[in-house]
Structure 1
Amino acid sequence: MLPTDAPLLEVTGLTKSFGANRVLDGVDFAVPAGSVTCLIGPSGSGKTTVLRCLNGLETPDAGVVAFADGQRHDFSAPAASARAAKADRGALRDRSAMVFQHHNLFPHLTVLQNVIEGPVHARGIAKETAIAEAERLLERVGLAEKRDALPHELSGGQQQRVGIVRALALRPDLLLFDEPTSALDPELVGEVLLVLKELADEGWTMVIVTHELGFARQVADQVVFFDEGVVVERGHPTEIFAAPRSERTRRFLDRLLRPLEE
């Protein structure tokens, strides 16, 4: 499935503060259906907070998250109650699944139990159906023989692949990845990036926070550069990496890309 020009969702005016620290300051961007959007930028620029807002883990102070099918969540409405905000977060969580930087697997559950936990208890899928789907997904990422292993018996790369399978098992419209390779030893990064490339080829809609600029340049349909809580610029990887319009983007890329090209 190729990405389309039609957005799966549009984010408008997303704002979030923690105390006196404004982490997001009017963030706007759209995510085309079937596309890969890579969020890049310095640490602390707000990228992870965007993902957490899209997944309902954080409540924005203001802004709108709207899906193409008409589902719309307006966090700017002055009359919005805590109950309404909670309902909005739940609705966002129903549309998305998040893969975390540090795996976040349940340590006392086997691989199979980790994968079926969400589909059975959050989505209401029959256990037998969830097990069959989990086994199919584990097979596709090369972990079928690990179904009964506990997380501590797996390598970091294997744990992250289980995290990806756990997200896929929820059958989300939107896959969110928060630095999925940053906690891995360098020799394990490739196996996780390969799975992400395969998902991109299959047409999954993904938003990925990453410092793997080579991966972003190769796989992304659009790159969004964040700095100090705002979107500085966004565009196709060839535009962002070859001819950034902003001096802030240029300085950031020069720092990270120069060592890779020397």
Structure 2
Amino acid sequence: MSDPTPQDARPLVEVADLHKRFGDNEVLQGVDFTAGAGTVTVLIGPSGSGKTTVLRSLNGLEVPEQGSVRIGDVATEFASRPDKRALARLRGQSAMVFQSYNLFPHLTVLENVMIGPRVVQRRPAEEVRTEALGLLDRVGLAAKAEQRPFELSGGQQQRVGIARALAQRPELMLFDEPTSALDPELVGEVLAVMQDLAGEGWTMVVVTHEIRFARSVADQVLFLDGGVVLERGAPAQVLTDPQQDRTRTFLKRILDPI
């Protein structure tokens, strides 16, 4: 009999057979994938394909009717209808950066970064403050610590959102189209921070239409359409030599929209 596989050899993320329905629309129809620690998984696909629903299921913001998610040592079976405590444990494994920033307008930049560790994780104030200032420096915004979100550009607000997510010390970073609400000239500053995080070994699942970013940073790309993973593989395969006609059509529309 062979030795059991060590726990450390398992992928950090395991997603199996996710099904999610909104009314008559089954937006996920059996999505599954794995992601190793320190890897970047990019989800691409047309609007309505289920990308964001997958991301929100990883974070417990959506509750699928079927399937399972494991992040690190926290596993959630959705068919058994997990309670709030189980969903909170799952949510504690990841942190999400939203496309619409979602910063608290009445708090300073520093307070926005500190609020999760202080209120949810109940960590000491001075420890959190020191770490938050370091994270703001890391995303190039240390000088903005005492300003309010409305005083920042969209790209700066999104970088605050990244610092806020990092402050939670998650196992997994989730990005939901983080550049889609930005003016084109501000996209690069956010993607540069994300690229740095990938280089530092953060495990990331990213929903994006930024194909050049996916090509340069992703370890695997999943193309979703109609609630299923229609194609998956390394960026060089999926983005350069896709096997499915639907993938080729989608990429042509993204890369050559005219």
Q: Using structure 2 for the length normalisation, give the TM-score.
A: 0.94
Matches within 5 A, 1:210-221: 210-221=208-219
| Match of residue 158 from structure 2 | 160
| Match of residue 73 from structure 1 | 76
| Match of residue 197 from structure 1 | 195
How far apart are 1:251 and its partner, in Å? Answer: 1.2
How far apart are 1:259 and its partner, in Å? Answer: 5.2
How far apart are 1:204 and its partner, in Å? Answer: 0.1
The answer as to 2:132 corresponding to 1:134 is yes
| Match of residue 19 from structure 1 | 23
| Match of residue 89 from structure 1 | 87
Distance 2:209 2:203 in 1: 19
Does structure 2 retain, via aligned residues, the 8 Å contact 1:5–1:33? no
Distance 1:87 1:216 in 2: 34
Matched AA of 2:16: T
How far apart are 1:108 and its partner, in Å? Answer: 0.6
Distance 2:75 2:184 in 1: 40
More moved, 166-175 vs 121-130:
121-130
Listed as ranges, the gaps of 5+ residues in structure 2 are 1-7
How far apart are 1:7 and its partner, in Å? Answer: 1.3
| Match of residue 228 from structure 1 | 226
Distance 1:141 1:33 in 2: 22
| Match of residue 171 from structure 1 | 169
How far apart are 1:179 and its partner, in Å? Answer: 0.4
Matched AA of 2:37: A
The superposition leaves residues 114-146 of structure 1 with CA deviations (integer Å, 9 ceiling, x where unpaired) of 000000111111111110000001111111111
Of 102, 105, 108, 2:106 maps to: 108
SS in 2 for 1:194: helix
How far apart are 1:19 and its partner, in Å? Answer: 1.0
Does structure 2 retain, via aligned residues, the 8 Å contact 1:56–1:88? no
How far apart are 1:256 and its partner, in Å? Answer: 1.6
Distance 1:105 1:14 in 2: 30
SS in 2 for 1:190: helix
Matched AA of 2:255: L
Does structure 2 retain, via aligned residues, the 8 Å contact 1:38–1:222? yes
Distance 1:244 1:162 in 2: 36
Does structure 2 retain, via aligned residues, the 8 Å contact 1:59–1:85? no
Distance 1:131 1:68 in 2: 27
Matched AA of 2:219: D
Distance 2:226 2:102 in 1: 27
Matched AA of 1:76: A
Does structure 2 retain, via aligned residues, the 8 Å contact 1:36–1:219? yes
Distance 2:155 2:251 in 1: 27
| Match of residue 61 from structure 1 | 65
Does structure 1 retain, via aligned residues, the 8 Å contact 2:72–2:93? no
Does structure 1 retain, via aligned residues, the 8 Å contact 2:239–2:251? yes
How far apart are 1:68 and its partner, in Å? Answer: 4.5
The alignment of Structure 1 onto Structure 2 pairs a total of residues equal to 251
How far apart are 1:246 and its partner, in Å? Answer: 1.3
CA RMSD of aligned residues (A): 1.5
Q: Using structure 1 for the length normalisation, give the TM-score.
A: 0.92
Does structure 1 retain, via aligned residues, the 8 Å contact 2:174–2:204? yes
| Match of residue 186 from structure 1 | 184
SS in 1 for 2:14: strand
Distance 2:137 2:71 in 1: 32
Of 40, 44, 47, 1:40 maps to: 44
SS in 1 for 2:155: helix
Does structure 2 retain, via aligned residues, the 8 Å contact 1:97–1:167? yes
